[in-house]
């Protein structure tokens, strides 16, 4: 048989419903009882069998006014299809049971407003895995991966790039522009926007902690696109410290757009930063520890994003 369509159709070009009708008729050997058993009309059963016979190229049943019998070709088809069909049913049942039984705790690490951003994914996960408990753990940018490596959290939302051999990078959650956080009285605030090359003449915060330089560079740039070094000012460990220093006029700071939406602050302005690459947020987890709950959460994320 030729394959006619993707999706629900099997390798012999007929839908699972047609296989079900054939196998039930092969068992009942009666069109009326088959129709009743499958909650369809007798004409639907007949139509399905005729379709299957056209695809096979030979009769599957001998029909008389008194009885219905399998032909030799029908017996061959029944012998081949029955275990495969039952295997599909068993696989689906087993997977559904596993999903219902999945329990335990999934610790989710997030930065800033990421938990709110993930709410569509969290809702899907809670609905499909009601026995699993979600636990939340805030992570600061000055120490992004220690809690993940210690096992305090199982999955982390973070900006890219993440170039750590012990950490797996999963699906991208979203992409957003980079903004420039400045004091309300800063000359750039009056202009209403900033060019990324202007950062070479300003100072942005240094970061106190063990955050990888390659990861920090995804937001707190080392150089402008033209290669000019961006000076560093006082060191920070949290976003609140960034806001305080910016409001005091000590530094300016590139930040993801979520800062503008979720962290307004007296005396600061979030400006468009022309020429800056967008920020990409993704899920990451320990490469050595992909648990069933982690895999389930990643799968729900991919479905929600897709």
DSSP 250-277: S--EEEETHHHHH---TTEEEEEEETPP
What pLDDT, on the 0 to 100 scale, is given for residue 306? 65
Q: How crowded is residue 3: how many other Cβ atoms within 10 Å of its Cβ?
A: 10
Q: Pick the residue with more confidence: 11 or 271?
A: 271
Residue 8 has pLDDT above 50, yes or no: no
Whole-angstrom distance, CA of residue 52 vs CA of residue 62: 14
Whole-angstrom distance, CA of residue 18 vs CA of residue 23: 9
Whole-angstrom distance, CA of residue 31 vs CA of residue 49: 10
Helix or strand (DSSP H, E) at 222: none
Q: Pick the residue with more confidence: 271 or 99?
A: 271
What pLDDT, on the 0 to 100 scale, is given for residue 98? 61
Whole-angstrom distance, CA of residue 290 vs CA of residue 176: 28
Helical spans, DSSP H, in the chain? 16-28, 31-38, 42-56, 72-101, 114-117, 119-128, 146-150, 187-191, 213-216, 239-247, 258-262, 292-305
Helix or strand (DSSP H, E) at 152: none
Whole-angstrom distance, CA of residue 199 vs CA of residue 203: 7
Let me know how long the chain is: 306
Ranking 65-69, 100-104, 175-179 by mean pLDDT, the lowest is: 100-104
Q: Kindly indicate the confidence band of residue 13, based on its pLDDT and cuts at 50, 70 and 90.
A: low
What pLDDT, on the 0 to 100 scale, is given for residue 90? 82
What pLDDT, on the 0 to 100 scale, is given for residue 104? 86
Mean pLDDT, the chain, rounded, equals 89
CA 267 to chain centre: 37
Q: Kindly indicate the confidence band of residue 89, based on its pLDDT and cuts at 50, 70 and 90.
A: confident
Whole-angstrom distance, CA of residue 220 vs CA of residue 230: 9
């Amino acid at each position: 048989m030729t394959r006619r369509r993707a999706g629900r159709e099997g390798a012999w070009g007929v839908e699972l419903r047609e296989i079900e009708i054939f196998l039930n008729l092969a068992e009942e050997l009666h069109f009326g009882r088959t129709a009743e058993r499958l909650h369809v009309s007798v004409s639907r059963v007949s139509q399905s069998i005729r379709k299957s016979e056209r695809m096979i190229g030979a009769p599957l049943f001998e029909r008389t006014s008194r009885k219905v019998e399998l032909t030799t070709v029908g017996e061959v088809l029944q012998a081949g299809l029955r275990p495969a069909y039952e295997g599909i049913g068993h696989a689906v049942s087993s997977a559904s049971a596993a999903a219902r039984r999945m329990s335990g705790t999934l610790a989710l690490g997030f930065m800033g407003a990421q938990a709110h951003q993930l709410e569509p994914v969290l809702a899907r996960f809670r609905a499909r895995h009601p026995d699993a408990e979600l636990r939340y753990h805030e992570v600061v940018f000055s120490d992004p991966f220690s809690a993940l490596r210690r096992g305090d959290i199982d999955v982390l939302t973070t900006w890219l790039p993440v170039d750590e051999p012990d950490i797996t990078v999963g699906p991208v959650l979203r992409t957003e522009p980079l903004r420039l956080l400045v004091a309300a009285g800063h000359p750039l605030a009056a202009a209403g926007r900033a060019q990324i090359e202007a950062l070479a003449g300003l100072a942005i915060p240094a970061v106190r902690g063990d955050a990888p330089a390659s990861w920090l560079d995804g937001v707190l740039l080392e150089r402008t696109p033209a290669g000019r070094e961006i000076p560093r000012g006082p060191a920070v460990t949290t976003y609140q410290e960034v806001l305080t220093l910016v409001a005091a006029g000590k530094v300016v700071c590139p930040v993801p757009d979520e800062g503008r939406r979720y962290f307004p602050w007296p005396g600061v302005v979030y400006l468009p930063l022309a020429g800056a690459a967008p920020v990409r947020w993704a899920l990451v987890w320990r490469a050595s520890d992909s648990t069933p709950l982690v895999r389930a959460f990643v799968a729900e994320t991919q479905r929600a994003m897709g």
